[in-house]
Chains A and B, each alone.
Chain A
C-alpha cells in the first residue's frame, strides 16, 4: 500500500534559507546588494570598472566576481580601484548559489561597505533560479545581441528590476532598435526600468550612477 503525503517544500529551500541569511546580514549593515546577470560578453565587468572609477570615493563598494574559470574579472576590478574584491571560480558550474556568496562575504568587511555588486556567471538561464540575497537583479544586454533577447530569456527578464542596454556606441554599426528592445523587455516585465549606456563614450552612464546613488541613499534613510 502506498500513501500520498502532501509536502509543499521548495526544492531550493536550502539555497533560499542561505539567501535569507545573507539578505538579513546585508540589511543590518545597510548594504545595497545588486546581482548582475547577462550573457557572456555583454559588458558586466567593463560597466563595473567604470563604476568603480567614478563612485569609489563617494560610495564604499565591494564586489564578488563569479567566473567559470580564471580570476580575470576580479583582477580587472582590483586594477580599476576595487578595494574589496572577492573572486568566485565555479569550475564549470553555470551559476552562483547562495552558499558561494555566503563564503565570499566572510572575506568582505561589511561594516565598511555601502554597495555590494555580485557579478554572476555570464548566463541568462541558470542564475535566474538562485536567489543570492540581493535587493535586485540588474540584467545587462548589449546592442549586438539582438532586440529579441528578452523574449528568448523571459525567466531572467521577469525577475530583474533594471535592464542596462550596453555598448550603445555600436548602434551605428548594428541593426538594433533600442525602442524595440525596450518594448520587448517591457512586454515580459512591465515594471522593468531601462537605462542605455556606453561605458566607452560615457553616454547615458550618469543615469546609471544616479540610479545607484538613489538606491544607496534610500537604504541609508530607511534603515537609520
Chain B
C-alpha cells in the first residue's frame, strides 16, 4: 500500500503546475494510470481525498483513466494489447515484446477555473 505516498507526490505536482499557471484555482485533475504500474486507482483516490480535505484542493476532483498494456513484438512488429500481462505475441508466438504503454503514472490535464469572465462576456456580447 504505497498509494498515500503517491497521492502526496501527486498533490506536490498539482501544486507545482498550479503555481506555474499563475496560482489559478484547480477544479479537476486527469490522471493516467497504466495497468502495469502497480498502483491501485481506488486506493490512490481514497488517499488523495483524505489528503486534500480542508486544503485549497478540497474541491479538486480526480479523474482516473486506465491505460492498458500494449506491446510491440520485436520479431514480427505486431502491436497487441496484453490484458493478462502474458507477453507472448498472438501473431508469431515470440516472447520479446517491447512495452508501448501500461506503466504510466502521470497527470494528463488540469481543469482550471477561469476567473476572468471578461473573455466569455466578450464572446457572448
Contacts and interface: CB of A to CB of B under 8 A. Distances in A.
A70 interface: no
Contacts of A155: 36-38, 103
Interface residues of A, number: 34
Nearest to A124: B38
B5 A93 contact: yes
Is the contact region of chain A dominated by helix, strand, or loop, or is it mixed?
mixed
Interface string A3-21: 1111111111111000000
A7 B109 contact: yes
A2 B28 contact: yes
A6 B87 contact: no
A141 B51 CA distance: 36
B107 A158 contact: no
Contacts, number: 108
Interface of A: 1-15, 93-95, 97, 125-126, 128-129, 151, 154-156, 158, 186-191
Contacts of B110: 4-5, 7
4 closest A-B pairs (Cβ-Cβ)?
A: A190-B95, A126-B2, A155-B38, A154-B85
A7 B111 CA distance: 10
Contact of A187 (B38, B88, B106, B113): B88
A156 B37 CA distance: 9
A137 to B, nearest CB: 13
Interface string B90-117: 0000111101000101111111111001
Given A4-B111, A156-B38, A187-B95, A11 B13 contact: yes
A189 B87 contact: yes
B13 A13 contact: yes
Given A14-B9, A15-B9, A190-B97, A7 B17 contact: yes
